[in-house]
């Protein structure tokens, strides 16, 4: 795709938004709702069963019109088509970006470098299905013939956060005779704690790494392998206790895992977009192949919505544009993602990588430094816990924090009135954030004068509400695809490459340089800055001291 675009901040739509911002920046949600009693319905839409209420945002019809104009000026439609058609839109790595192919139904055709990739995707899904069924049924046994009870996924970043988040999210549907644990950190304590109470004979390791060169993952995998071989008394045990998920067969073989036990994916799947590929093997074993495929069909439904729905009713487009409005015009630096569901406890951590590794870029596609803000800081944690921790700042602090509230109309675990109480809190928070409580209202409650200012809520704090029926594998797929495409929409408008991650490289290179300096027997010749040199010397002095 070659669309030449005027610099973002010079476009008429951008300039019009700047002017519009000056006109409405003080407009209060109280006024907007008072002037339009239908606002709660008009500024809402539903797509593939996900209800999206964006009425509690500081926007008018004109804001939306201008934001949609901005999207058009960024050739968003052409860019969506380019992604779905397998064009190499990850320009710095010269790769196609085709996570959407991972959930394309059998029979669909998506061509990369002259080859339809959909049959390959389904061949791997079939291989995963067969393996998952054998582990779940006990047909696949460990070296000593015992069935597998625990699966340990060793991976980091996209090879950990996705399957971990989804395993927790879909735990309700998982086979409770099997447990999945996730080890990511190179800190040995994590692996030691994960293995502490396990039977090596009943433990299966899935080494998940797109590149199969990642220091953390390979270090953990080597230590796990030693643990396994020492306990089972033979190198032969590795074949029954280790499988790999990777794009790099050569490195998998080098590590000593038979490539027959390797589940493949492809360089056109970014790490943070990969948990619905073979990277989700641990999840498939936990919830079963059928539910995994339901999740994929949820992803696909949202993909199709994103690809075909008019921008005015397109959930990822609206979510992305509203985010741009606060990020680039109100100067909001962060977005809080607040799921009101216990099972979504790891969603925000997952979205941090998805969003921040994708859109945390300071140069545009031409390599020029941008003169506008790009990706926001994503943070948050589930529901009412947050209310008793950081919501104070969202309600009454000096910073504007747009929030995404995510909730469900039905609970998977009906227990007394718990769910109504949970959702009452959910609705109450978005109401309080939007409308606040004026000083007059506070005083009218009989609050002593010295407290009135402290107990006043300005309101006008924006929120999105994302509401679905209940949490199923399919709903999770829809939700994740919603955020994947929201990130894409924003990256497109900011004209950045959302699919590379060069920003993580420097730290890796420097760490490799420091490793021998920490380990050498003789005093190393340190040539870092004075802070780093001093810290390394102090560490060397103390590292061997008794605990």
Q: Give residues in contact with ligand F6P (CB under 6 A).
A: 156-159, 209-211, 214, 217, 271-272, 357, 501, 504
- Residue whose C-alpha is closest to residue 152's, from 176, 172, 178: 178
In the complex, least distance from residue 78 CB atom to ligand F6P, rounded to whole angstroms:
27
Q: How far is the CB of 45 from ligand F6P (least distance, A)?
A: 32
In the complex with ligand F6P, which residue's Cβ is closer, 471 or 480?
A: 480
The CA–CA distances, whole Å, from 330 to 20, 98, 309, 471 equal: 11, 33, 28, 33
On the 0-12 / 13-18 / 19+ scale of CB atoms within 10 A, 91 is middle
Instruction: Give the C-alpha separation, 358 to 501, whole Å.
Output: 7
Instruction: Quote the radius of gyration of the chain (alpha carbons, Å).
Output: 25
Measured in residues, the chain has a length of 547
CB of 353 to ligand F6P, least distance (A): 7
Tell me whether residue 160 or residue 303 sits nearer to ligand F6P (CB atom): 160
357 as an active site residue: the answer is yes
- β-bridge partners, 355: none
Q: What would the two tokens of residue 1 be?
A: 């795709």
Active-site annotation holder among 168, 357, 484, 517: 357
Minimum Å gap between C-beta 102 and ligand F6P is 15
Catalytic residue among 15, 254, 418, 508: 508
To ligand F6P, the closest distance from the beta carbon of 180 in angstroms equals: 18
- Closer CB to ligand F6P, residue 162 or residue 407? 162
Looking at the DSSP bridge assignments, the partners of residue 141 are 147
> For residue 533, which of 543, 544, 523 has the smallest C-alpha distance?
523
Nearest CA among 457, 319, 344 for reference residue 391: 457
Q: What are phi and psi of 326, to 5 degrees?
A: -75, -40
Q: Any catalytic annotation for residue 485?
A: no
Sort 446 into a burial class: Cβ within 10 Å, 0-12 / 13-18 / 19+: exposed
* CB closer to ligand F6P out of 75 and 354: 354
SS3 373: coil
| Annotated catalytic residue, options 388, 454, 541, 546 | 388
Q: What residues contact residue 174 under an 8 Å CB cut-off, 6+ apart?
A: 167, 180, 286, 287
In terms of CB distance, is 81 or 505 closer to ligand F6P? 505
Q: Measured from the CB atom, is 159 or 314 closer to ligand F6P? A: 159
388 is catalytic: yes
Residues pairing with 204 in the sheet:
151
Nearer to ligand F6P, 240 or 272 (CB): 272
Question: How many angstroms separate the Cα of 131 from the Cα of each of 44, 141, 286?
Answer: 43, 11, 12
When the beta carbons of 214 and 465 are compared against ligand F6P, the nearer one is: 214
CB of 501 vs ligand F6P, minimal distance in Å: 5
By three-state DSSP, how is residue 327 classified?
helix
Structure tokens, 66:
């201008």
Please report how close the Cβ of residue 504 comes to ligand F6P at its closest, in angstroms.
4
Q: Are 377 and 459 in contact, with CB atoms under 8 Å apart?
A: no
Q: Is 82:1 a contact under the CB 8 Å cutoff?
A: yes
Q: How far is the CB of 339 from ligand F6P (least distance, A)?
A: 22
Q: Distance (Å, rounded) from C-alpha 381 to C-alpha 351?
A: 11
Q: List active site positions.
A: 357, 388, 508
């Amino acid at each position: 795709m070659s669309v030449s675009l005027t610099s973002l901040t010079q476009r008429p739509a951008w300039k019009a938004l700047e002017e519009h911002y000056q006109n409405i920046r003080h407009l209060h949600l109280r006024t907007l709702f008072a002037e339009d009693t239908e606002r709660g319905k008009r500024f809402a839409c539903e797509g593939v069963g996900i209800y999206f209420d964006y009425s509690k945002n500081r926007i008018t019809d004109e804001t939306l019109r201008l934001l949609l104009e901005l999207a058009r000026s960024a050739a968003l439609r052409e860019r969506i088509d380019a992604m779905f058609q397998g064009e190499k839109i990850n320009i710095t790595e010269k790769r196609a970006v085709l996570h959407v192919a991972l959930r394309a139904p059998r029979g669909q055709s998506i061509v990369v470098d002259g080859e339809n990739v959909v049959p390959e995707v389904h061949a791997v899904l079939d291989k995963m299905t067969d393996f998952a069924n054998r582990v779940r049924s006990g047909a696949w046994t460990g070296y000593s013939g015992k069935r597998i009870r625990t699966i340990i996924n060793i991976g980091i970043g996209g090879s950990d956060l996705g399957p971990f988040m989804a395993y927790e999210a879909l735990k309700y549907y998982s086979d409770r005779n099997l447990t999945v644990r996730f080890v990511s950190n190179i800190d040995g304590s994590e692996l030691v704690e994960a293995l502490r109470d396990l039977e090596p004979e009943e433990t299966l390791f899935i080494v998940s790494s797109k590149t199969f060169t990642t220091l953390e993952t390979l270090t953990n995998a080597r230590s796990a392998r030693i643990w396994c071989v020492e306990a089972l008394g033979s190198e032969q045990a590795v074949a029954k206790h280790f499988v790999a998920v990777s794009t790099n067969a050569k490195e998998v073989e080098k590590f000593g895992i038979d490539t027959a036990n390797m589940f493949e994916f492809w360089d056109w799947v970014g790490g943070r977009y990969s948990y619905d590929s073979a990277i989700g093997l641990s999840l498939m074993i936990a919830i079963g192949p059928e539910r995994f495929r339901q999740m994929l069909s949820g992803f696909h439904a949202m993909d199709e919505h994103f690809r075909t729905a008019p921008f005015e009713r397109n959930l990822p487009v609206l979510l992305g544009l509203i985010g741009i409005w606060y990020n680039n015009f109100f100067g909001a630096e962060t977005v809080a993602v607040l799921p009101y569901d216990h099972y979504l406890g790891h969603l925000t951590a997952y979205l941090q990588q998805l969003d921040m590794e994708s859109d945390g870029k300071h140069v545009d596609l031409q390599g020029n430094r941008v003169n506008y803000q790009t990706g926001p800081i994503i943070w948050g944690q589930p529901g009412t816990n947050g209310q008793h921790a950081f919501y104070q700042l969202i309600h009454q602090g000096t910073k504007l924090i747009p929030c995404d509230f995510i909730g469900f109309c039905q609970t998977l675990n009906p227990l007394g009135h718990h769910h109504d109480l949970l959702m009452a809190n959910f609705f109450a928070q978005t109401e309080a954030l939007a409308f606040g409580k004026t000083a007059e209202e506070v005083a009218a409650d009989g609050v002593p004068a010295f407290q009135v200012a402290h107990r006043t809520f300005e309101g006008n704090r924006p929120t999105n509400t994302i509401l679905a029926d209940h949490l199923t594998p399919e709903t999770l797929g829809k939700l994740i695809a919603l955020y994947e495409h929201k990130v894409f929409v924003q990256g497109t408008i900011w004209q950045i490459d959302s699919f590379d991650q060069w920003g993580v490289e420097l730290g890796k290179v420097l760490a490799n340089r420091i490793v021998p300096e920490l380990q050498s027997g003789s005093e190393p010749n340190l040539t870092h800055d004075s802070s780093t040199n001093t810290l390394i010397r102090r560490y060397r002095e103390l590292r061997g001291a008794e605990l």
